[in-house]
């Protein structure tokens, strides 16, 4: 009987993975998800390639590995793989949260009574072309989209045609989802090196292998909240964690945000102020244990 229950549980979980079409999904009851790993680089391998191998954004991998040359780290170098995150405070069930501060998208959904979270690295708007913050919803899903080149892009690159058809030269990739802010899309890309960087004209781009997975999960009407949360706090196994990202926020702003979150979650009496301040100064973008 025990084996049968374990088999059924395993089968149910595999079914969830199959239907979600994701490499990994996480329990929706956790505030800290994933497990940090390590990896030894191969000869000629850059952190750009390592990031994609582990479904990470470029900047989050670089931030977690200060002192390592991102373009020529050398063979056999031990690299921290930051596949561990604190769930944004703004994540609500049945919705998407895009945290610009960490360049990562979170989607919460239910399957067969289980509450689950999927997360993907993203590329976002460059300085001066910032992805807007606010509350939106998905109003359209498009497979093999054509790219209608905006005037702002045509001014920079007048050689572009008015419309780029589907195919390998299309910067929207294979799938796109239009938001109620109609100029903003969540889409794939033909330049995967831009995931985890500020490189777009405001849209949100995912790796070519990630966008069809998210596309299949998300329905038209899904709420999308775009935020800047450079500081997150969470709890796992009785320990308190903080995650701080370098997004141009000042240390004073980050301290204020951390104190607010700790108070809201009634965690303020369980942390070491010294450890919290160190996490805020280092801004490694990974969950750091700040418990007493």
The token pair at 205 is: 């781009």
Q: Provide DSSP, 7-24.
A: HHHHHHHHHHHHHHT-S-
The token pair at 282 is: 């280092």
3 state SS for 226-238: EECCCEEEEEECC
Q: How many helices and strands (H and E) does the chain possess?
A: 7, 20
Catalytic positions: 187, 203
In the numeric block, the tokens 């009987």 are attached to 1
How far is 237 from 151, CA to CA, in rounded Å? 52
**Residues whose CB falls within 8 Å of the CB of residue 251, separated by 6 or more in sequence, listed in order:** 280, 281
Strands laid side by side in the 96-99 sheet: 26-27, 114-121, 104-111, 96-99, 223-227, 134-143, 175-179, 185-187, 204-205
How far is 281 from 250, CA to CA, in rounded Å? 10
How far is 163 from 224, CA to CA, in rounded Å? 27
């Amino acid at each position: 009987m025990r084996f049968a229950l374990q088999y059924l549980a395993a089968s149910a979980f595999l079914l969830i993975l199959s239907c979600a079409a994701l490499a990994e999904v996480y329990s929706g009851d956790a505030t800290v998800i994933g497990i940090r790993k390590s990896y030894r680089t191969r000869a000629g391998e850059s952190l750009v390639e390592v990031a994609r191998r582990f479904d990470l954004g470029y900047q989050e991998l670089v931030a977690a590995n200060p002192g390592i040359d991102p373009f020529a780290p050398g063979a056999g170098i031990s690299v921290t793989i930051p596949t561990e995150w604190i769930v944004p405070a703004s994540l609500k069930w049945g919705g998407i949260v895009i945290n610009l501060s960490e360049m990562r998208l979170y989607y919460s959904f239910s399957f067969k009574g289980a509450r689950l979270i999927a997360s993907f690295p993203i590329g976002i708007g460059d300085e001066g072309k910032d992805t807007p913050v606010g509350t939106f919803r998905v109003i359209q899903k498009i497979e093999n989209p054509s790219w209608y080149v905006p005037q702002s892009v045509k001014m920079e690159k007048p050689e572009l045609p008015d419309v780029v058809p589907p195919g390998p030269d299309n910067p929207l990739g294979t799938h796109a989802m239009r938001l109620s802010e109609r100029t903003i899309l969540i889409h794939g890309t033909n330049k995967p090196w831009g995931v985890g960087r500020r490189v777009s004209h405001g849209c949100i781009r995912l790796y070519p292998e990630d966008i069809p997975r998210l596309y299949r999960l998300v329905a038209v009407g899904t709420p999308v909240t775009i935020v800047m949360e450079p500081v997150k706090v969470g709890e796992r196994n009785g320990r308190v964690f903080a995650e701080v990202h370098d997004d141009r926020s000042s240390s004073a702003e980050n301290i204020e945000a951390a104190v607010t979150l700790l108070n809201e979650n009634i965690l303020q009496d369980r942390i070491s102020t010294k450890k919290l301040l160190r996490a805020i100064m280092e801004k490694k973008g990974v969950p750091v244990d700040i418990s007493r």
